[in-house]
A and B are shown apart, each in its own frame.
Chain A
Amino acid sequence: MNLPAVWAIYVYEMKRFFRTLMESLLSPVISTSLYFVVFGAAIGSRIDEVEGVSYGAFIVPGLIMLSVMTQAISNASFGIYFPKFIGTIFELLSAPVNFLEIVLGYVGAAATKSLLIGIVILVTAGFFVDIQIMHPWAMLAFLLLTCISFSLFGFIIGIWAENFQQLQLIPLLVITPLIFLGGAFYSISMLPESWQTVALFNPVVYLVSGFRWSFFGMADVGVGWSLLAIAAFTGLCLGVVWWIFKTGYKIKS
C-alpha cells in the first residue's frame, strides 16, 4: 500500500477545500439558515410539533442529510472529474499507485469535507433551535457512513461523466428529488397511506429516518432497516468502484 500517495492526494484535495473555505462553508450555512426561515419559522409556526418534537428541531437531521449528501456527491465527483477534464489524470495513472489508493485519497477527502459541512450545519442549527442528541455515537456513525457512501457514489459519477452537464445530471435529476421526497422535512406518517408505501422504495427515507432516530429516538422505519440500507448502498458503490478498477472504465483504454 502506497500510503504516502494516498496522503498526498488527500492533502492536495483538502487544500483545495481550505483555499475556498469561505465558499465551501458559507453556502451550506446560508442555505441552512434559509431553510430554517422558510420551513422552521414560516411553515413551522403552523405545524408546531411532529410526534412530540418541535418542527424546527425535527427538520435538523433532514437538513444535515440534505447538505451532506449533496456536498459529498459534488465534492467527490468534481474531485475526480477535474483531473479528467484538464488532463492531469495521466499523473495518477502513471504513478505507482493502484486504483484503491486513488479512491481512498479522493473519497477520503470528499467524505472529510462533507463531514465538516455536516458539523457546521449542526452548529448553525443550534443557533435556531434547541437540539438534543439521544444517541450521539449512532448519530456520528450514520453521518460518517453517509459521508463515505455518498462520496463513493460521487466518485462513480465523476468517473462516468464526460462533461459538466452530466456531472450535474444525476444529483439534479435523481438525488435532489429523492432527498426532498425522503422525509427530510416531514415524517412519512404524514403522507397518505398509498404514498407511504411508495416512499418505502426511496432509499433516502431509510437514511434520514435512521439519522433522525439518533437525535430523537423516533423513526419512520426500524433503525435496523436504516443500517441495512446504508450498508447495502455502501456495498453497492464499493462494488461499482471495484468494477471500474477491474475494467478501467472511462479512465484507461
Chain B
Amino acid sequence: MTAIVDVMNMGKVYAGGHAALTDVSLQIEEGEIIALLGPNGAGKTTLISALCGIVTPSSGRATVGGHDVVAGFRKARAMIGLVPQEIALEPFEKVINTVRFSRGLFGKKRDEALIEKILRQLSLWDKRTARIRELSGGMKRRVLIAKALCHEPRVLFLDEPTAGVDVELRRDMWQVVEDLRKSGVTIILTTHYIEEAEAIADRIAVINKGRILLVEPKADLMARMGQKTLRIDLMAPLAAVPPALAAFDVTLSADGHALSYTYEAGGERTGITRLLQTLAAEGLALRDIQTTQSSLEEIFVGLIKEGAE
C-alpha cells in the first residue's frame, strides 16, 4: 500500500522558541485508523495543524495524496477534513447552513443529497434547522464532523474527538469513526485517552515532547511490549518465598496465599514451564492459575518514562 499521508522530517519551532515538533516522520496508509497518542502538549495538535495549513512547518515537508502540503496546498487540502479539538462554530448559524458553507469553501458545488446523507449518518438531520447554540456539546462535535466530511475528504483528522465528552457519547463517536472507516476514509485521530486508541485504532503512534517514539500496529505493540503477570493461588499459605524460587522474579502476596510472576508475553522464554516444574518439585499444591496482560496504558506510561530518561 502507498502512504496517503507522508510526513518527512518535519519540525516546528514556534516564534517563542518552543520546539513543538522535532524531526517527525510518519507514513499513514490509505484506509487505516491511526491514533497519535501522547500527553497534553506532546505536539499532536501541532502536527495536525502543520498538515492542514494552520501552522507553517519550520523544517521538513509532508504530502497528502502525493501533494505537498505547502507548495500544492490546494490539492492537498482538498483531500483533508479537519475536526478541531475546540468546538468552534458560529452560535447563531443554522446547522445546515454552516455545513453548506464548508462545502462551498472547498470549492464544491451544492449537493443537498450528500449533505442530507451526512447529516443523517451523524444523527443531525432532525436538527438541521436548529441554531448551533441550541445544540448540546456532543451534537456540536457532530456538526464539526459533518462540516469536515461535507467536501468528501479522503483523509480525516480528528483532534481529540472525545475530549470532554461523556462515556456514552464517546462510544457513539467511536461508532461514527468505525462507520467512516468502512466508507474508505483514512482517519488520523489524536487522543490522550489510551482506552480510545486501544478501542478504535489499527496503528498507534506514540508522541511525546514533539518526537515520535514509536509507530506500530496496535496488536504488535501490545504483544511486544506487553508484560503479563501469572498469578498462582496456593492451597496452603507460605510464610516466605521458598529459596528454590529465588532465581525467579516472584513476589508473595501479603496473606501468603498467592505468588505473582511477571514475564514478557512476547519473549522467547517466558520461564513459566521452569517455574511450574520448580513449584511441583517443592511440593506446593496449586489452587488456581491466572494471567493478566498489561494494558496499553501501562505500556504507554513506560514509553513516556523511557523517553524522558
Contact = CB atoms under 8 A, between A and B. Distances in A.
Interface in A102-144: none
Contact of B54 (A5, A15, A94): A94
Q: How many residues of A sit at the interface, in one of the four size bands?
A: 20 to 34
**Residue of B55, B78, B101 with most partner-chain A CB within 10 A:** B101
Interface residues of B, number: 32
Interface in B7-59: 14-15, 52-56
Contacts of A94: 52-54, 77, 80, 82
A95 B88 contact: no
Contact of B104 (A8, A88, A248): A8
A87 B84 contact: yes
Interface of B: 14-15, 52-56, 73-75, 77-78, 80, 82, 84, 86, 88-92, 97, 101-109, 147
B88 A5 contact: no
A96 B88 contact: no
A7 interface: yes
Q: Top 9 A-B pairs ranked by shortest CB distance?
A: A8-B104, A87-B88, A94-B52, A96-B74, A96-B77, A95-B105, A2-B107, A4-B107, A96-B78
A96 B79 CA distance: 9
A92 B56 contact: no
Contacts, number: 76
B75 A96 contact: yes
Contacts of B84: 87, 90
A92 B106 CA distance: 9
Contacts of A12: 97, 101, 104
A8 B56 CA distance: 25
30 contacts: A2-B74, A3-B107, A4-B104, A4-B107, A5-B104, A5-B106, A5-B107, A8-B101, A8-B103, A8-B104, A9-B104, A9-B105, A11-B104, A12-B97, A15-B97, A86-B88, A91-B82, A91-B105, A94-B52, A94-B77, A95-B105, A95-B106, A96-B73, A96-B74, A96-B75, A96-B106, A97-B107, A252-B56, A253-B14, A253-B15
A93 interface: yes
A93 B106 contact: no
Nearest to B72: A96
Contacts of B109: 4
**Residue of A2, A8, A92 with most partner-chain B CB within 10 A:** A8
A86 B105 CA distance: 18
A131 B88 CA distance: 48
A9 B103 CA distance: 11
Interface in A69-100: 82, 86-88, 90-98
Interface in A150-195: none
A210 to B, nearest CB: 37
A86 B90 contact: yes
A8 B73 CA distance: 19
A253 B21 CA distance: 13
Contacts of A9: 104-105
B19 to A, nearest CB: 13
A36 to B, nearest CB: 34
A118 B108 CA distance: 34
A6 to B, nearest CB: 9
Nearest to A1: B107
A87 B54 CA distance: 12
Contacts of A86: 88-91
A252 to B, nearest CB: 6
Nearest to A82: B90
B309 to A, nearest CB: 31
